[in-house]
Amino acid sequence: MMHHPMASHFEPPDPRSRLDELRAAIVRCAAGLVSSFDDIVEATTDVATDDEHDPEGHTIAWERQQIAALIDETGFTLADIEAAEQRLHDGRYGTCTTCGLEITPERLEALPATPTCLSCAR
Ligand SMILES: [Zn+2]
């Protein structure tokens, strides 16, 4: 079954693949297989070479920035990722686990594994 990222549903683009990517990055980090974010980006972009992305375009820089930010700023663990995947499975993804309000798409895009909205995260 194909999921089209352009689908006009009010949702961040493909949270599942963002979570997969984040999980892969964390697993590699935890396993000591990489020593820098550049290596992570290389590893994650290798998997997607059949994509239409321009390898010299902004995509790689953007990915690097995103992954660096995700690991560096959020400190997400595998447990966080798995919890987020479970919420996605249950249809509760994007809802704050503390107050039950919707988490903004901007926040989900920046922090795909976050369980809480901005107010509750403070
Ligand atoms: Zn909240």
- pLDDT digit string (tens) for 67-95? 666 565 556 777 888 899 999 999 999 99
C-alpha 60/C-alpha 65 separation (Å) is: 8
The alpha carbon of 54 and the centre of ligand 1 are apart by a number of angstroms equal to 38
The alpha carbon of 91 and the centre of ligand 1 are apart by a number of angstroms equal to 17
Task: Assess if residue 112 is contained within a domain.
Answer: no
Collapsing DSSP to helix, strand or coil, 89 comes out as helix
Task: Assess if residue 70 is contained within a domain.
Answer: yes
Task: Assess if residue 115 is contained within a domain.
Answer: no
Task: Assess if residue 74 is contained within a domain.
Answer: yes
Domain coverage including residue 38: 15-46+56-93
Residue 33 reports pLDDT greater than 70: no
pTM exceeds 0.85? no
Residue 54: other Cβ atoms inside 10 A: 9
Task: Assess if residue 87 is contained within a domain.
Answer: yes
Whether the CB-CB separation of 66 and 15 falls below 8 Å is answered with: no
Whether the CB-CB separation of 41 and 63 falls below 8 Å is answered with: yes
The alpha carbon of 55 and the centre of ligand 1 are apart by a number of angstroms equal to 38
Cα first-last separation, the chain:
39
Task: Assess if residue 32 is contained within a domain.
Answer: yes
Reported as a single tens digit per residue, the pLDDT across 35-56 is 455 655 565 555 555 555 555 5
C-alpha 20/C-alpha 85 separation (Å) is: 9
Say what the pLDDT of residue 5 is: 54
Task: Assess if residue 110 is contained within a domain.
Answer: no
Task: Assess if residue 121 is contained within a domain.
Answer: no
Look at the chain and report how many structural domains it folds into.
Answer: 1
The alpha carbon of 5 and the centre of ligand 1 are apart by a number of angstroms equal to 26
The alpha carbon of 114 and the centre of ligand 1 are apart by a number of angstroms equal to 11
